[in-house]
Structure 1
Amino acid sequence: MVGVANQTRVDWVDGAKGIAILLVALAHAVQWTVISGLTPELWSKINLVFIVFRMPLFFLASGLFAASIIARTWPTLWRTRLSLLVWALLLWTLVRFGYFSLLPNPAGFDETNPIDLLLAPVRPSNGLWFLYALALFFVAAKLMRDRVDWRMQIGGAAVLSVLFFARADTGNIAWNGIGRYFLFFLLGCYLREWILAFVNRPSRLGALGLGLGFAAAFLGLAGVILTVDARMPFITGTLVLASLLALGAGLLVARFLLGFRAMSWLSYVGRNTLPIYVLHVLFVSALTSVLLLARGEAWLDRLGPVLPVLVAGGAVAASLLFWRIVRDLPLLRYGFIVPRWFAAPTRFGHAPRLTSAGSAAPADSAERMLPRSE
């Protein structure tokens, strides 16, 4: 197992998480606008290509700071990490249920089934499944710590990833995601030092080889998806390999972009992914409903090819604005703060804020994955 030297904040990790959440928002904007007939169907196939990058990057980034977290006692792990994920999942599942019960979903996705609502703690059926999967990843990693060799953990997770990227299907988005992406969380957890060293001090030859390998895999995957039935099952580990190459290239790109002051906003987005994650779908749905009122207008037809980008950008901006407005207001702030009755108060005397997917302002200063938002 590669050790964890120090838990300092790494700006390019924020940048990588920023890229990931923007791609997640784009994916949902594509779903809503394509199904609503507002943008070309080609976007659906483009969206599918990014399956090798979006969630693998999210889970890898979360795993990069997990090694010392899973070394904590169970009560401390609950207080400093799991309570945030569970609270956000339960609360925002209720919010989405109420929202879509009042405002019809223009994409036709049904989130108003009371049975699904009751089963959400064990079988999430909406886009919040990432929180559920991440909580289980922390629990599983802690249970296996010092009991199962880390190489065996990664090997077993790799087999699961290949199977679920190919054709294994549980019938549930959360459990399918768990099968696909546990590998990337473990890679971040156990190969942290190697990954940080590679990205911080990449060799030119290594970076060139990685870039060319990713480009070839990405273009090959895109060619398959864009020219054949997008539902074609993949029966090899091609997607897992493409994901690994994509992650390496994506981390290098994030580090490169964060070298420019003009891209500092990307780091800000990455430090605040959780508010975006739980809110953006509501704004995507609302924006799509508003645009449908102008269906048939010439200006809307002209915007059709770029509409997913505009809707995603608007939803991300609206999510951040909403969070900035309500995060310190009575009652509403508990959309982003765990109540003391749910998670025991930290030694600082308050519950940690939700700032980024898989992270919160920690109860101690040993690992400052993200800065406090106080």
Structure 2
Amino acid sequence: MASTIDRTRVDWVDGAKGIAILLVALAHAVQWTVLSGLAPELWNKINLVFIVFRMPLFFLASGLFAGSIIKRTWPALWRTRLSLLVWALLLWTVIRFAYFSLLPNPAGFDETNPIDLLLAPVRPSNGLWFLYALALFFVAAKLMLNRVDWRVQIGVAAVLSVLFFARADTGNIAWNGIGRYFVFFLLGCYLREWILAFVNRPSRFGALGLGLGFGAGFLVLAGVILTVDARVPFITGSLVLVSLAALGAGLLLARFLVGFRAFTWLTYVGRNTLPIYVVHVLFVSAITSLLLLARGQAWLDRLAPVLPLIVAGGAVAASLLFWRLVRDLPVLRYGFAVPTWFSGRPPVAAVKSRPAERMLPRSE
């Protein structure tokens, strides 16, 4: 049986993942509503501010339990981790292609190029790239295990992160993300015990200093983005340092929030990130299309300043509801659970759709 401390650790990690997935949903809601002319342009700049927090937090949380996973044999790694990531990426890329081929994208993004569909296994070009990057991170960490010193791994990944946060550009969202965020996955993987100790028993002065440092960096970054050319912050490596402070503050915030009964829903969201991640964009697009039918209505104009928040919240709730409705149905449940023929798991080991309820295990 897990100890109280272990359960607390799991809860705040789930809380951190919940914060991250909500920010991802908000980012997409901002893109759709602003490009559709429903929300003010200011939201695009707010979106840029959260680049230091959103995906770094997601990948750090993913790395926290990766240390034991990458020690497994290659077949075991495939069965328990990689197969779900690859299956979800391939399946939902096809579903998104079909969806946007039938229903126009109100934001103007084109996901109906058959060439992009064919190249998705090596060059994802949509919002599902996180699955691709996470799978590669597990493979890379496994390949380097006991071959490359972990400090060298983090050092090289940190240099790549600075370069990609600054000027480096591959022309592909997935490969740019890999360059930016691999360091955060490795930090979670190799500094797990230090991070757990820091968050579970935070020093008051350390937490205060971290909070003030993050707050100062965040305000400077926000000030530059909101008042100057939005590309200015991206010509320096300062975003990496701000991201590190943001991660510490975010983990402490998650630990603080999960201690309140009113935020139990945040832990639930964090435990069920996969259905939200793969489905929410479809609901964001659908909700935006419905709102466009009411363009010009006074009530919609009054909601414009907070519309991205409403759309994001509605999309997350709809995604979870859809998942709960189909997760035990024949065929449809494989939208969130990898088939045994694909994963190589023996049928006895497959337990309904539970492997897909979380991108990460509660403890491994």
Give me the TM-score of the superposition, normalised by structure 1: 0.93
Distance 1:119 1:80 in 2: 25
1:153 — aligned with what? Answer: 153
Map 1:272-283; keep pairs closer than 5 Å. Answer: 272-283=272-283
| Residues 291-342 of structure 1: CA deviation (Å, up to 9, x unaligned) | 0000000000000000000000000000000000000000100001111110
Name the structure 2 match of 1:3: none
AA at the equivalent of 1:209: G
> Does the aligned pair in 1 maintain the 2:224–2:232 contact within 8 Å?
no
1:79-117 deviation per Cα after TM superposition (whole angstroms, max 9, x unaligned): 000000000000000000000000000000000000000
Q: Which residue of 1 aligns with 2:363?
A: 368
The aligned counterpart of 1:197 is 197
Residue 355 (structure 1) aligns with: 357
Aligned mates of 2:203, 2:346 — CA distance in 1 = 42
Q: In the TM superposition, what are the counterparts of 1:40-59 in structure 2 within 5 Å?
A: 40-59=40-59
Deviation at 1:10, TM superposition (A): 1.2
Greater mean deviation of Cα atoms: 80-89 or 233-242: 233-242
Q: Is the 8 A contact 2:210 2:245 kept in 1?
A: yes
Residue 329, structure 1, aligned to residue 329, structure 2: yes
Matches within 5 A, 1:37-76: 37-76=37-76
Give the conservation status (yes or no) of the 8 Å contact 1:116–1:125.
yes
| Cα deviation 1:221-267 (Å, max 9, x = unaligned) | 00000011112363332000000000000000000001101110000
| 2:10 aligned residue | 10
Aligned-residue CA RMSD (Å) = 1.4
Deviations 1:352-373 (A, max 9, x none): 621223x25xxxxxx736xxxx
Q: Please give the secondary structure, in 1, of the residue aligned with 2:234.
A: coil
Query: Which position in structure 1 is the counterpart of 2:308?
Result: 308
Task: Give the share of equivalent positions with the same residue, in percent.
Answer: 83
Aligned equivalent of 1:288: 288
Name whichever structure is richer in helix by fraction: 2
- 1:133-173 CA-to-partner distances (Å, cap 9, x unmatched) read 00000000000000000000000000000000001000000
Helix, strand or coil: the match of 2:341? Answer: coil
The corresponding residue for 1:364 is: none
The correspondence of residues 1-374 of structure 1 with structure 2, limited to 5 A, is 10-232=10-232, 234-346=234-346, 348-350=348-350, 353-357=355-359, 359=360, 368=363
Instruction: Decide whether the 8 Å contact of 2:63 with 2:185 is kept in 1.
Output: yes
Does the 8 A contact of 1:7 with 1:65 survive in 2? no
Q: Any idea what SS the aligned residue of 2:156 has?
A: helix
Q: What amino acid sits opposite 1:37 in the alignment?
A: G
In 2: Cα distance, 1:50 partner to 1:118 partner: 31
Distance 2:209 2:148 in 1: 33
- Contact 2:224/2:233, CA 8 A, preserved across alignment: no
Contact in 1 for aligned 2:340/2:346 (Cα 8 Å):
no
Q: 1:327 to 1:347 in 2, by over 3 A?
A: closer
Quote how far apart the aligned CAs of 1:349 are: 2.7
Q: How far, CA to CA, are the matches of 2:349 and 2:78 in structure 1?
A: 16
**Whole-Å Cα distance in 2 between the matches of residues 218 and 356 of structure 1?**
30
AA paired with 1:13?
Answer: V
- Point out where structure 1 has 5 or more consecutive residues left out of the alignment: 1-5, 361-366, 370-374
Unaligned runs of 5+ in 2: none
Q: Which amino acid in structure 2 is aligned with residue 143 of structure 1?
A: L
Aligned residue type for 2:357: T
1:66 and 1:30 map into 2 onto residues whose CA distance is: 31
CA contact (8 A) 2:221 2:233 kept: no
Counterpart residue type for residue 152 of structure 1: V
SS of 1:356 mapped into structure 2: coil
Structure 1 stretch displaced more, 232-241 or 87-96: 232-241
- Corresponding letter in the other structure for 1:221: L
Q: CA deviation at 1:347?
A: 7.9
CA distance in 2 between partners of 1:260 and 1:7 (Å): 18
Counterpart of 1:170, as a letter, is T
- Secondary structure of residue in 1 paired with 2:124: coil
Distance 2:103 2:37 in 1: 19
Shift of residue 7 of structure 1?
7.4
CA distances 1:170-193 after superposition (whole Å, capped 9, x unpaired):
000000000000000000000000
TM-superposed deviation, 1:348: 4.4
Q: Partner amino acid for 1:215? A: G
Q: 1:78 Cα shift?
A: 0.2
Distance 2:17 2:199 in 1: 15
Structure 1 counterpart SS, 2:357: strand
- 1:344 offset after TM fit, Å? 1.2
Q: Match for 2:127: what amino acid?
A: G
